[in-house]
Structure 1
Amino acid sequence: MNNRIKLNDKEKGVLLIEGIGTFLLFQIINVILVMASNLFFGSNDKKSFFALLHMDISHGNLSKILLLLALVIVLEIFISLHVVMKSYRQFQVKYFEEELSKIASGALDQRIDIQVNPQLQGLVTSINSLIENTNEHIAEQRRSEKSKDELITNVSHDIRTPLTSIIGYLGLIESRNYEDLDQILKYTHIAYNKSLEMQTLVNDLFEYTNVEHANSTLSMTKFDMAQMLDQLSADFELEANKRGMEIVVNADPERILMTGDTDKLGRVFNNLIMNAFKYGNDATHLWLNAKQTSEEVVISVANNGKPIPKDSLDHLFDRFYRVEDSRSKETGGTGLGLAIAQSMVKMHGGWIDVQSDPDRTAFIIHFPMNTQNTSEE
C-alpha cells in the first residue's frame, strides 16, 4: 500500500510558516483596507468603515456583521490551506524526482511507494508497472542465459564421454596397438556404437531446440487418436514381446477424431513407449488408453513395472535428467526424450503429467477440446 511522504522537521516548518504567514498577511491587508477607508472618507463620514460598523450595530445587525467577518476569515483560511497544499505537492514532486533519480541510476529493485495527488499518482503507478515489467524481462533473460549455459554444459558432458571412447579405441588402432583382426573389429565396433550414441544425442538436441523455438510450427491434420494408438501397438509389438510385455489399447469412444500434427504426436508416444521399455523394469503390461470427454482428450501410457522414485518425479521432464537407477549402458538415453515430448504436447495446447506407485507408472496427456476437435460415435 502506498504511504504518504514523511516530511522532515525543516519541511514541516516551511509549511507551517507559509500557512500562518499567508493568514497573517490577509489580516494585515484587512487592517490596511480599514485604515485606508477611514483616511479617505474621514472617521465621521458615513462611508467610513467605523461609521458603517457603528450604524450597523445601532440598527441591530451585529449578527450579520459577525457572519460576514466569519466568512471572510474562513475564505482566508481556505486560501492559506491552498497555499500550504501547493507547497506540500511541491515536496511530493521533489520526493518523486529523487526516487526516480535512484531508479534511473540502476536501482531497479526500488519502488516509488508513496501516496501523492491524483495527477502524480497515475505516473507513480505507471512507473512502478514499468519497473515490474523491466525486472521480469531481465529475470527472463537471466533464466535464458542460465538455461543456455546448462545446455552447453550438459551437451559437452554427454558428448565428451562417447567421444573419448571413440578417440581412445581408434587411437589404439592408429598406433597398431592390437593383436589381431578380431581385436581391431572389437575396437571399431565399440567406436561405432559410441558414434551412434553421439548421433542420437545430436538428433535429440536438434529436435528439442526446434520444438522450443518460438517460430516452430505444427502441420495440423484431422486424425483418429484411437487408430493412432492401435498403429503404435502394432509397431512396437515385436519389441514388447522381446521384453515379455503385452500392449493393451483401450479407447472410449472407439473413434476419437481430433486435430494435430501426427508426426510430432507420433514422436511423443514413441518417446513415452520407449521410456516404458527402458525403465519399466519387470513390467508385464503396457497400456495405451484414450478417453474423450466434453472438455478434453486424455491419453495415458502406463506400465506395471518398477515405480519411479518420488524424488525424481518432479524432474523427469528436465533436460538431460535421468533417474540414477537408469544411468546404465543397457538403457542409455540422452535425457531429452521426455523434455521433447512435453514441448510437443505444449505446442498442441496440452499438458503432460506423471503418476507412479508400486502398481503402475503412467504418463498422462491432456489435450483440451476446441472447435476443431470432434468425435463420431
Structure 2
Amino acid sequence: MKNKFIHTVRWQFIFIFILSIVFAAGTVLLAYRIVKSIVGLSYYSGPLRWVVNNIGSTPVMVVVGGGLFLVYFFIFSRKIIGYLEEITQGVQEIAKGNLDYEIVARSTDELGEVAETINVMTRKLKKSIEEERKAERTKNELITGVSHDLRTPLTSILGYLELIETDRYKDEVELRYYTRIAFEKTKNLNKLIDYLFEYTSLPGEGIELEMKKVNIYGFLKQLAEEFVPILTKAGMTCRVTAEDDTLYIRADGRQLVRAYENLISNAIRYGSEGKFVDIKISRSGQEAVVEIVNYGEPIPESDLPYIFERFYRAEKSRSSRTGGTGLGLAIAKSIIEMHGGKIGARSHRKQTVFETRLPLQPSRQPGTDS
C-alpha cells in the first residue's frame, strides 16, 4: 500500500518539481562562480561589469534560474508526458474501430492503471460486439429457417383442406386420413409460431417489474399442477418438496412464471426417461434456493458453460428430436437475474439439476408490508 502511494503521478510530479529546482539552482550557482572568476579577466570585464552594475546579479540569476527550471522540468517530465501521449494515441486508435489495439502498461501508477483499464474495456467491448454479431447471425438463421419451415406445413394443410373442400376423397376413412394429416401439420405450425413468439418476447433491459410478495412454495406448487396434463402425456410425475414452506420473495409473478415454465418444460423434454421431475425448495442464508431436477440423459460437461446462451442447444442430435429453439434457458437466466438472483446447472449420470437463488423478502414489522 505504501509503495503504491509513493508511485503515483502526483508524487512523481512533485519529485520532478523539486529535482528541477535543485538542478536549476545548482546550475545557476555553478554559472555564478564561473562568471565571478571571468569578471577578473580584462577581456570580459567590460560587458559583465555593466550587467552587474546596471541590472544586478540577483535579478539575472532569478531569470536564468527560472528558465533553467522550465528546461529541466520539461526534460525530467518527458517520460510521463510521452506515456500520456501514447495513451491518448491509443484511445484515438481504438476510437477509429481498431479493437485489437492494446496500450502497453509501462508503469504501476495511475497512468498504468488507466492504460490497463482501457485495455480491459476494449477487450470487453470487442467480445460484446462479437457476441452481438453472433446473436444477430443466429437470429437471422433462426428466422430464415422458421419462415421456411412455416411454408411447408402451411402448404400441406392448404392442400389437404382443398381436397376435403372439393370432396376429392373416396370415403370417410380417407377423409379422416386427410384430416389427421392436416391436424398434425397444424400442430407443427403452432410450434413454429411459438418459437417465433418466444424469440420476440425475450426479456429486455427496459422492462419494468411489478414486484410483489410471493410465497415461493405456493407459487411453484401451483405451477407444477398446471403441468399435470403435459406430465401425464410424458408419463412423468412432478414432486414438490420444501424444507420451509414459508419462504417469501419479492418478484414479478408473471415474469417468474415464464422463467420456471421454461425450466420445468426443459426438465420434462429431456428427462422423460427418468419418470420424475423434482422441485426442491430450501433456504441458504438470505436466499431462497430452488432446484429443478430431472433424471434423464446428462448434459455433456463441454456444453454446461454455454447452455444459458441464446440459441445454444446442447446435444444437437437430441435437440433435433425433442425440439426447442435454445431460447428457454436464456429467458430463464435473464428473468432470474432481473430479480437479483442467480442461476446455474450441474449434471452427471444420475441427474441434472437447474438451481436458482433469489433474495428472500426482507423481514418487516407486522402491518408494514405492502
* Fold similarity call, TM over 0.5: yes
Q: Hey, what's the Cα distance between the residues in 1 that align with 2:271 and 2:324?
A: 14
CA displacement at 1:220 relative to structure 2: 0.8
- Which consecutive residues of structure 1, in runs of 5 or more, have no partner in the other structure? 3-17, 41-77
Is residue 111 from structure 1 mapped to residue 117 from structure 2 by the alignment? no
Q: Are residue 230 (structure 1) and residue 221 (structure 2) matched? A: yes
CA shift digits 1:147-173 (9 cap, x unpaired): 223322233224323434434664788
CA spacing shift, 1:21–1:164, aligned 2, 3 Å: farther
Q: Give the match's secondary structure for 1:302.
A: strand
In the alignment, the residues of structure 2 paired with residue 160 and residue 286 of structure 1 have an alpha-carbon distance, to the nearest angstrom, of 35
Is 1:200 paired with 2:180?
A: no
AA matched with 1:292: R
1:122 shift after superposition: 6.0
Residue in structure 2 matched with residue 29 of structure 1 by the alignment? 35
Contact 2:217–2:246, Cα closer than 8 Å, also in 1: yes
Partner of 1:305: 296
Shifted more, 138-147 versus 242-251: the winner is 138-147
Structure 2: segments with no counterpart, 5+ residues: 8-23, 47-64, 366-370
1:239-258 correspondence to structure 2 within 5 Å: 239-258=230-249
Which residue is 1:70 aligned to?
none
Q: Deviations over 1:225-269 (max 9, x none)?
A: 111122123222333233332221111212212211111111222
Could you tell me which amino acid in structure 1 is paired with residue 258 of structure 2?
R
**How far apart are residue 139 of structure 1 and its match?**
4.8
Structure 2: distance between partners of 1:93 and 1:328: 60
Aligned pair 1:278/2:286, yes or no? no
Asked if 2 retains the 8 angstrom alpha-carbon contact of 1:103 and 1:110, the reply is no
Does the C-alpha gap of structure 1 residues 298 and 157 become closer, same or farther in structure 2, counting only changes over 3 Å? Answer: same
- Answer yes or no: is 1:324 the counterpart of 2:300: no
Query: Contact 1:264–1:344 (CA<8 Å) still a contact in 2?
Result: yes
Q: Deviations over 1:47-72 (max 9, x none)?
A: xxxxxxxxxxxxxxxxxxxxxxxxxx
Q: Scaled by the length of structure 2, what TM-score is found?
A: 0.68
In the alignment, which residue of structure 1 is the partner of 2:75? Answer: 88
What residue in structure 1 maps to residue 211 of structure 2? 220
| Distance of 2:72 and 2:328 partners within structure 1 | 66
What is the aligned counterpart of 1:264 among 247, 250, 255?
255
- Following superposition, the deviation at residue 81 of structure 1 comes to 8.9
CA gap 1:335/1:79 in 2 versus in 1, 3 angstroms: closer
Asked if 1:371 corresponds to 2:365, the answer is no
Kept in 1, the 8 Å contact 2:209–2:252? The answer is yes
Map residues 136-147 of structure 1 onto 2, 5 A cutoff.
Answer: 136-137=124-125, 139-147=127-135
1:159 to 2:143 alignment? no
Q: Output aligned runs, 1:49-198, within 5 Å.
A: 85-89=72-76, 91-92=78-79, 95-96=82-83, 99=86, 100-101=88-89, 104=92, 106=96, 109-111=101-103, 113-114=105-106, 129=117, 133=121, 136-137=124-125, 139-167=127-155, 170=158, 180=169, 182=175, 185=179, 188-198=182-192
Query: Is the 8 Å Cα contact of residues 19 and 80 (structure 1) preserved in structure 2?
Result: no
| Amino acid across the alignment from 1:246 | T
1: CA distance between counterparts of 2:90 and 2:294? 59
**Residues 353, 364 of structure 1: 8 Å contact kept:** yes
Structure 1 residue 126 displacement after superposition: 5.2
Rg larger in structure: 1
2: CA distance between counterparts of 1:97 and 1:265?
Answer: 50
CA distance in 2, matches of 1:184, 1:251: 49
TM-score scaled by length of structure 1: 0.67
State whether structure 2 residue 283 is matched by structure 1 residue 292: yes
SS at match of 1:282: helix
Q: Which residue of 1 aligns with 2:345?
A: 354
Q: Secondary structure at the match of 2:272?
A: coil
1:146 Cα deviation from its structure 2 partner: 3.5
Q: Report if aligned partners of 1:280, 1:303 keep a CA contact under 8 Å in 2.
A: yes
Q: Is the 8 A contact 1:23 1:80 kept in 2?
A: no
Does the CA-based 8 Å contact 1:307-1:361 persist in structure 2?
yes
Equivalenced residue count is 314
Q: Distance between the aligned counterparts of 2:136 and 2:256, measured in 1?
A: 26
Are the equivalent residues in 2 in contact too, given 1:163–1:194 (CA < 8 A)?
no
